[in-house]
Amino acid sequence: MESIRLYDTTLRDGTQGEKISFTAQDKLKIARKLDDMGIHYIEGGWPGASAKDFDFFKLAANEHFENSKIAAFGSTHKYGSTPEKDRQLNVIIESRAPVGTIVGKSWDLHVKKILGIPMEANLEMIKNSVAYLKKHGLEVHYDAEHFFDGYKENPQYTTQTIEAAVAGGADAIALCDTNGGALPHEIEEITRAIKKVIDQAAGRPVPIGIHTHNDSGLAVANSITAVRAGASVVQGTINGYGERCGNADLTSIIPILQLKMGYDCISEENMAKLQMVSLYVSETANMTPINSRPFVGKSAFTHKGGLHVDAIMKEPRSYEHMTPELVGNRRRVLISDMAGKGNIRYKAKELGFPVDENGYDYAEIVNTVKRLEQEGYQYDVADGSLRILMEKLTNQFTPYFELESFRVTVEKEKDRLCRSSAVIKINVDGVEEITAAEGSGPVSALDNSLRKALNNVYKNMLDPFRLVDFKVRVLDGRDGTAAKVRVLIESRDQEAIWSTIGVSEDIIEASWQALADSFQYKLARVKNGNNQNYQEST
């Protein structure tokens, strides 16, 4: 089985994505996860351009990585200087990373119009920079920036830049589709051509890498195509994070290469960690996970139509391209007004409910769900509330608190922003808890007050649980401000994500329903030891 080496650049390229920022400690935690998953290279950042990145390398130098090599990123030395005097190159050496990755110009457009230097000088800069790092004992990867655009316009010069890196002693050459505009057939043709050049020029094995961006929606396809054409090092980021439209998404590339194409990337055990790592990175980046993300997304193996559900209960392959557990995901069935008995039967089995034994048949649950959806509930996007509903219908619901009352106050003074506060009284096993809290809005105040009350009883059980999304939709605008509204709340902790729902003519009441379900769900997970059924219903 042919091996592929995975080069993760989440900690460098990924941080160039909009709204994404990691501290040095965040980077170290992610690096540990990537190492545990068996990623071969972890590009930690650009130590010569960012003090935060340099701090990461100081932390990483004292860590033991079982599977991964840490790479420090930089660029070729400046025109008119030498490698010995170049700060960028020397900081890579000072970082103590075992791998140095430097980027250089491969497109004559950039050499002439961006750098404004002689073409021959650029070739010398590439060769000398690579050789300098090699002299200091580093494994050196050369990133040929804008390689495919350059090759299409001036293949002779672009080839010379690659030959210069090889002459300098580069251990791997990464071909970069920096603007993300190349098409798969172009990637394949050009990669095959340059591989022949490298093999002839090097006189030694020099692996070819591929680094693609997703501006044309083809980053994953282009990476796979490059592998077919001879690339053996694949660069990308977890969840495809990166500048503009992002980088190639390793959470898709890894299972495609290994499970679909038979390449050796990581172990089966580590493949099953893929979804967990995807969620961990999105949590650390404070980015909402994309449900429709292939392989690892919440919806990747989700079924709604009754005919589909009936079929997968008989033969999962009928509507699934692979076994979800291979990548740490799971099959989900949604319950909605489209649901049939098959959906309920599957959901009950998934959630561990012995429905028939409790005197309720599937038809009654179907009818209840459909009646509530007529009232505005939408259980296909609120698995947390669905679980609680099914527990109630089967007499298996254990309330961890009961509401006695709450009061929400919003105060507005002429030239000041609104201030919200909430007072809540709950009952926990016959003991009353009364607390008050302020918030940035009425729902925030209610959330803070309930959290404060429950923390008095369930010490530390709600950490690090938090609300990450809050949506309100007016169901029928013809009634104006008296219209019924639907509130959806998405919550998460370090292990799971779940959604809850509330419906009412009063937005605070609808918010309370969703909020209360979310807290009940979280407490049930903790009290049941985060058991499999609760984890799977997220």
Would residue 134 count as lying in a domain?
A: yes
Indicate if 319 and 409 belong to the same structural domain. Answer: no
Q: Say if 241 falls within a structural domain.
A: yes
Same domain, 331 and 424: no
Residues 28 and 135 in one domain: yes
Torsion on CA atoms 144, 149, 152, 157, rounded to nearest 10: -40
Whether residue 296 is contained in a domain is answered as: no
Would you write out the chain's pLDDT as a tens digit for each of its 538 residues?
799 999 999 999 999 999 899 999 999 999 999 999 999 999 999 998 888 899 999 999 999 999 999 999 999 999 999 999 999 999 999 999 999 999 999 999 999 999 999 999 999 999 999 999 999 999 999 999 999 999 999 999 999 999 999 999 999 999 999 999 999 999 999 999 999 888 887 788 899 999 999 999 999 999 999 999 999 999 999 999 999 999 999 999 999 999 999 999 999 999 999 999 998 998 889 888 888 999 999 889 888 766 777 787 778 888 889 999 999 998 877 765 555 666 777 776 666 666 665 666 677 777 888 888 888 888 877 888 988 988 888 888 889 999 999 999 999 887 788 889 999 999 998 899 999 999 988 999 999 999 999 988 888 788 778 888 888 888 765 666 667 899 999 888 877 888 899 999 999 999 999 999 999 999 988 877 654 444 444 3
Is the bond into 464 cis (omega within 30 degrees of 0)? yes
Instruction: Note whether 481 and 371 are same-domain residues.
Output: no
Domain termination residue (choose one: 214, 241, 266): 266
Answer yes or no: are the C-beta atoms of 177 and 187 closer than 8 Å: yes
145, two tokens: 């920036």
Euclidean distance between CA atoms 183 and 278, whole angstroms = 27
Domain closes at, from 266, 283, 317:
266
Instruction: Indicate the helix (H) or strand (E) that contains 491.
Output: strand 485-492
Q: Are residues 424 and 530 in the same domain?
A: yes
Q: What was the pLDDT predicted at 532?
A: 44
| Residue at a domain's end among 246, 266, 286 | 266
Would you put residue 42 in left (φ > 0), alpha (ψ -120 to 50) or beta? beta
Are residues 248 and 135 part of one domain?
Answer: yes
Residue 289 in any domain: the answer is no
Residues 6+ away with beta carbon under 8 Å from 274? 37, 251, 254, 255, 295, 296, 327, 328
Q: Domain limits at 476?
A: 402-536
With contact defined as beta carbons under 8 Å apart, do 236 and 257 qualify? no
Q: Give the span between the Cα atoms of 435 and 235, in whole angstroms.
A: 52
H helices of 69-144, in order, are: 87-94, 108-109, 119-135
CATH of the domain at 449: 3.30.160.270
Q: Three-state SS for 434?
A: strand
Let me know whether 45 and 83 are in one domain: yes
Answer whether residue 382 is part of any domain: no
Same domain, 133 and 228: yes
Find where tokens 């900081």 sit: 91
Residue 74 and residue 209 in one domain: yes
Q: Give the whole-angstrom CA distance, residue 406 versus residue 404.
A: 7
Q: Do residues 148 and 91 share a domain?
A: yes
Q: Are 330 and 288 in contact (CB under 8 A)?
A: no
Q: How many domains does the chain have?
A: 3
Token pair 């390793």 is found at: 250
CB count within 10 Å of CB 244 equals: 13
Decide: residue 275, CB within 10 A, 0-12 exposed, 13-18 middle, 19+ buried. buried
Structure tokens at 445: 């105040």
Residue 177 falls within a domain, yes or no? Answer: yes
pLDDT reported for residue 533: 47
**DSSP strand pairing (332-333 vs 172-177):** unpaired
| 188 lies in the same domain as 251 | yes
Classify residue 295: in a domain, yes or no.
Answer: no
Q: Say yes or no: 306 and 430 in one domain.
A: no
| CATH number of the structural domain spanning residue 26 | 3.20.20.70
250 found inside a domain: yes
